[in-house]
């Protein structure tokens, strides 16, 4: 099987762009096209050739940093090697600097949504995922960004978002977001792991919008039962056959 090298090429720099008109999308995608097991491939050289059917790769396509009414796009810098038949999910990490961040105006927000949509336009990309640990004061702005992204992106692609575990345990702010999937992140929570451990055992312990997927890490595993959920797995070390085998056991 021949290998396929993915290099994400996106514009870099502080952007202030005019919106390109796009009609509201009436067709919604299905998350069924996303595999049941997805490996997160973050910012390092990564070789994931030869994955079995039913395993996908969610690769960091770009990091966007918000500034004073502007934003900066940093594309992926490291190569990702995957087989030609591996489904891909394009992930954008959004970061803010509270002391230097102000809300984007409508035109800049639309420009950012279009950049998000473009990141998922590559071959065999089956979904777009946004990774943003929004604070309470950033939620209204984030909701508008999700609405605009859903409007301009390919209607055949699902829109996924990562979610802090606390968002999936009685916090109603996820309700009515224009997303197809919320992935509760059950790692990197420090001593707050225990209150949310039940989400790993049973999807019924999470709010309804967080029951179709779950995220975990090989170096910080909570007890986890897939129970028909899609499982996203992060590895703090480069992916290798041993780590991939450990990830596969999580969905069995």
pTM attached to this predicted model:
0.87
Cα R_g (the chain), whole angstroms: 17
110 touches 118 (CB < 8 A): no
Q: Which two tokens stand for residue 72?
A: 């900066």
Q: How is the chain split into domains, by residue range?
A: 4-19+40-249
- pLDDT digit string (tens) for 88-132? 999 999 998 766 666 778 888 899 999 999 999 988 999 999 999
Q: 54: which residues sit within 8 A by CB, 6+ positions away?
A: 35, 36, 37
- pLDDT digit string (tens) for 183-228? 999 887 655 566 788 888 888 999 999 999 999 999 877 788 888 8
Which residue's structure tokens are 């009609």? Answer: 23
Question: What pLDDT does residue 198 have?
Answer: 86
Q: Residue 31 and residue 158: Cα distance in Å, rounded?
A: 6
Question: What pLDDT does residue 194 have?
Answer: 65
Query: Tell me, which fold does domain 4-19+40-249 have in CATH?
Result: TIM Barrel (3.20.20)
Element (H, E) at 40: strand 37-41
Question: What pLDDT does residue 190 have?
Answer: 57
Residue 12 or 83, more confident? 83
Residue 104 or 65, more confident? 65
193 touches 222 (CB < 8 A): yes
Going by C-alpha positions, the residue among 57, 54, 63, 98 that lies closest to residue 80 is 57
- pLDDT digit string (tens) for 40-58? 999 999 999 999 999 999 9
Q: Considering the chain, what is the average pLDDT of its residues?
A: 84
Does 24 score more than 60 pLDDT? no
DSSP assignment of 45-73, as one string?
-EEETTPPTTEEEEEEEEEEEE-BS-EEE
What count of other Cβ atoms lies within 10 Å of the Cβ of residue 26?
6
- pLDDT digit string (tens) for 157-194? 999 999 999 899 888 899 889 999 999 998 876 555 66
Which residue's structure tokens are 């473009």? Answer: 118
Which residue's structure tokens are 């202030």? Answer: 16
Question: What pLDDT does residue 168 have?
Answer: 92
Question: What pLDDT does residue 8 have?
Answer: 40
List, in sequence order, every residue forming a beta bridge with 102; answer none if it has no partner: 68
Question: What pLDDT does residue 152 have?
Answer: 96
Share of the chain above pLDDT 70, in %: 84
């Amino acid at each position: 099987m021949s290998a396929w090298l993915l290099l994400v090429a996106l514009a870099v720099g502080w952007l202030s762009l005019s919106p390109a008109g796009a009609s509201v999308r009436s067709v919604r995608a299905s998350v069924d096209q996303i595999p049941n097991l997805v490996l997160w491939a973050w910012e390092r050289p990564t070789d994931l050739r030869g994955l079995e059917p039913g395993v996908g790769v969610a690769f960091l396509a770009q990091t966007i940093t918000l500034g004073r009414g502007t934003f900066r796009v940093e594309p992926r810098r490291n190569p990702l090697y995957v087989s030609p038949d591996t489904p891909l999910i394009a992930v954008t990490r959004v970061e803010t600097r509270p002391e230097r961040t102000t809300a984007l105006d409508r035109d800049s927000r639309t420009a950012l949504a279009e950049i998000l949509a473009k990141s998922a336009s590559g071959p065999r990309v089956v979904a777009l995922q946004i990774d943003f640990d929004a604070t309470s004061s950033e939620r209204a702005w984030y909701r508008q960004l999700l609405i605009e992204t859903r409007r301009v992106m390919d209607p055949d692609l699902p829109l996924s978002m990562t979610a802090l575990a606390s968002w999936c345990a009685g916090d109603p702010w996820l309700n009515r977001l224009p997303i197809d999937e919320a992935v509760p992140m059950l790692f990197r929570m420090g001593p707050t792991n225990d209150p949310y451990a039940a989400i790993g055992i049973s999807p019924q312990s999470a709010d309804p919008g967080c029951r179709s997927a779950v995220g975990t890490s090989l170096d910080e595993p909570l007890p986890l039962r897939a129970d028909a959920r899609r499982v996203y797995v992060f590895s703090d070390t480069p992916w290798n056959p041993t780590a991939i085998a450990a990830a596969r056991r999580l969905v069995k």
